[in-house]
Amino acid sequence: MPAAHDTLPAQSAQSAPELSAARPGASATPQALALAALLRDAYQFRLLSASQQAAEMERLERLERQHPEAEHRLRMALALAQTLQIPDTQRALALVQTVLESNDPQSVALRPLAHLLGHLLREQRRLELQNERLSQQVRDSQRRVEQLSDRIEAMRAIERSLQRPAPLTAPPQRPNAP
Tell me the per-residue pLDDT of 48-57, one tens digit each, with 9 for 90 and over.
Answer: 888 998 899 8
Q: What is the pLDDT of residue 144?
A: 97
Mean pLDDT of 125-153: 96
* pLDDT at site 146: 97
Proportion of the chain above pLDDT 90, given as a percent: 47
pLDDT given for residue 167 in this prediction: 64
What is the residue type of 175?
A: P
Q: Is the pLDDT of residue 149 over 90?
A: yes
Q: Is 3's pLDDT higher than 70?
A: no
- Indicate the DSSP class of residue 164: S
pLDDT score at 1 = 37
What are the φ and ψ backbone dihedral angles of 167, each rounded to 5 degrees?
Answer: -60, 140
Cα–Cα distance measured from residue 93 to residue 126, given in angstroms and rounded to the nearest whole number: 12
Q: What mean pLDDT is reported for the chain?
A: 82
Averaged over 16-41, what is the pLDDT? 68
Distance between CA 48 and CA 67 in Å, rounded? 24
Which residues does 149 contact at the CB level (< 8 Å), separation at least 6?
none
Give me the pLDDT at residue 178, please: 60
Name the pLDDT band for 29 (thresholds 50, 70, 90).
confident
CB of 96 closer than 8 Å to CB of 118: yes
Distance CA 14, CA 150 (A): 53
| 18-22, 66-70, 107-111: least confident range | 18-22
User: Which of 28-42, 96-110, 162-176 reaches the highest mean pLDDT?
Assistant: 96-110
